[in-house]
Chain A
Amino acid sequence: MNAPVLEVKDLVKHYPIRRGGRSVRAVDGVSLSVGPGEVLGLVGESGSGKSTIGRCVLRLTEPTAGSVSLGGRDVTHLSRRALRPLRRDVHMVFQDPYSSLNPRFTVGQIVAEPLRRHGVARGAEAETRVREMLERVGLSADMRTRRPHELSGGQRQRVGLARALVLEPKLVVADEPVSALDVSVQASVLNLIADLQRDMGFSCLFITHDLSVVEFLADRIAVMYLGRIVETGPTEKIFAEPQHPYTQALLSAAPEPDPVRQRERRRVVLGGEVPSPLDPPTGCRFHTRCPIAVDTCRTDEPRLTGVREADRPVACHLVTPSAVPDLTEGN
């Protein structure tokens, strides 16, 4: 078994708010790992804490507790200076291709920046690497002299990918990289990410709200709800047989682009609203919206363990070795 490229253990990120000494519990005890060459899809709705995890991995945000290890080395408490060489190996791709590129730089300068910063290549050598990288992401080398405002959204996202990959990192954290793109452009960027990932072999923490995107791209999925992972496992298994009631609801809510099938589907309609991360519910955090919650769910917090299969842990009291709840049944 290879050592994981990324290992997050019991990660906690609380944001204190000014009044009342309370805090927003954005991430509240999350453990996950990404193996070499593996794509882990981190899925959840707004406020689930998925982006905060990505930011903690890159230390763009300082975790409150827990640890982040890259290639077996704990980086949670490294100083900025000590962290710098490690930044060669971890890069990020952001959602908004408009605000994540410096408008005053040319495309060539943007892609060359990591090479320059890490003293990897300069001058003619840097230029050669920038040309090669641009071609790899499907942009012509002539793009070097353009500035971000001259590019389309898809082209900008390709520049963002080129910048993230030019140092051939071991890990890429991609936060909703295709969510701002139109379907036709999204398809080509997703194909590109899949191709680059297979060819360059980097590991990827792919953060998204879009289930169809992770189904296409991810080897494994972790589903988040209110700062916690509720279920994780191989992509096909999660889609074929979701065990956690929240995963079932999430999968059933995403409309299928087929009117006949969509209108025959049984949907799980969740009551209520996502509770405030200032004051998450006791017991299972999902119990306030779970249609099948029992008393234990309100008092005892379920642990994320491989109840039925070792490779797909789930945090639900109602999943037992002999039974999995099915919310779509009978409604």
Chain B
Amino acid sequence: MSERLMSEHSLLEITGLRVGFDTEEGRVQAVRDVSLRLERGEILALCGESGCGKSVTAMSIPRLLPPETTRLSGSIRLDGRELTDLPESALRAIRGKDVSMVFQEPMTSLNPSFTVGFQIAEVLRRHEGMSRTAARSRAVELLELVGIPAPARRVREYPHQLSGGMRQRVMIAIAVACSPRVLIADEPTTALDVTIQAGVLDVFRDLRDRLGTAIILITHDLGVVADVADRAVVMYAGRAVEEASVTELYARPRHPYTAGLMRALPSAAVTGEDGRRRLTEIPGLVPPPFEDPDECAFHPRCPRAREDCTATRPALEAFGTGHRAACFHPLSTAAGGDA
């Protein structure tokens, strides 16, 4: 990657993104200086626990945030074009066409009073200027693309007639109707049963393979990340604390928070000296989103924290190709491997 020409840019480049919200209790700083890249045809996972800023980071791209209370700074470039200073009217043309989204709850994202076919066709007519009939037949193709059986019949059905998994497939069909360059999926399988989840994850993989869609997958589920993502960014308290290819990240986590998350999973239970099976806890709580002292935000919960962790904030540093972590006392390769 280092030998890439200066002029070549990633599909999406976020640099120094900061997003805050004005509330009655003060400014909530949800995202604090996040920089990341999304390559063409890549599935990038944004992971971390509630409140880490993963969703707000992604929502900033199509700027789906309340304009009155949002304070956003930094740069978001899609194919070299700056999005942060675009007026609302220009963004509207980008949403759904260049950048589209799939949310967690398909029932609240679909309109109950229109057939799914109408809702897919609406996007095509608006963004692609298709005729009613052309949009209708394209809608059937799209339902087929996302693996909905009997699409010609399903296209005439209403959301309540579909199961949760099928509704989420319809949402994906709407999201990819205009062949977006970036698809943002925010916890798309969290509300689904595991046997249904597997099929929906296959749809994302398939879209990437067949259409080359680049996907940002926001999830708290490390199993889902392991299953479909190429690369992952782990966020904590509004910052990216580690990023790497998924195989590298799971084999050699460097940041103690990443390693802690992996050890805390029920499947990683260890047998203690007393013979009891135990999970490795991460003690303490996430810091409040109001203050932002110049120190590592994870240090109060970190088993490796030392004095220098409170002196200044660690920056992301490279650990081999494409692997970066923000920690003064990262795990060594050996320690990470057997974790």
Interface of A toward B, CB cutoff 8 Å: 45-46, 152, 154, 182-184, 186-188, 190-191, 194-195, 198, 209-213, 215-216, 249-250, 253-260, 262-263, 267, 269-270, 273-274
Contacts and interface: CB of A to CB of B under 8 A. Distances in A.
B194 A184 contact: no
A contact patch SS: helix
B276 A198 contact: yes
B141 interface: no
B interface majority secondary structure: helix
Given A194-B277, A258-B226, A250 B194 contact: yes
Given A212-B267, A216-B277, A274-B163, A255 B227 contact: yes
A186 B264 contact: yes
Contacts of B264: 183-184, 186-187
Contacts of B246: 259
Contact of B193 (A46, A267, A269): A46
Contacts of A182: 49-50, 220
Interface of B: 49-50, 163-166, 193-195, 197-199, 201-202, 220-227, 246-247, 250-251, 260-262, 264-269, 276-283, 285
Given A187-B264, A188-B282, A258-B226, 5 more contacts: A187-B281, A250-B194, A259-B226, A270-B195, A273-B165
Nearest to A209: B193
Q: Which 8 A-B pairs have the closest CB atoms?
A: A255-B223, A184-B282, A187-B264, A45-B193, A182-B49, A212-B266, A187-B279, A255-B227
A154 B194 CA distance: 24
Contact of A254 (B194, B225, B268): B194
Given A183-B220, A216-B277, A255-B223, A45 B195 contact: yes
A209 B195 CA distance: 11
A198 to B, nearest CB: 7
Given A255-B227, A257-B226, A249 B195 contact: yes
Contacts of A273: 163, 165-166
A213 B194 CA distance: 14
13 contacts: A152-B285, A183-B49, A190-B279, A191-B281, A194-B276, A209-B194, A253-B195, A255-B201, A255-B227, A257-B222, A257-B226, A269-B199, A273-B166
Contacts of B260: 184
A189 to B, nearest CB: 9
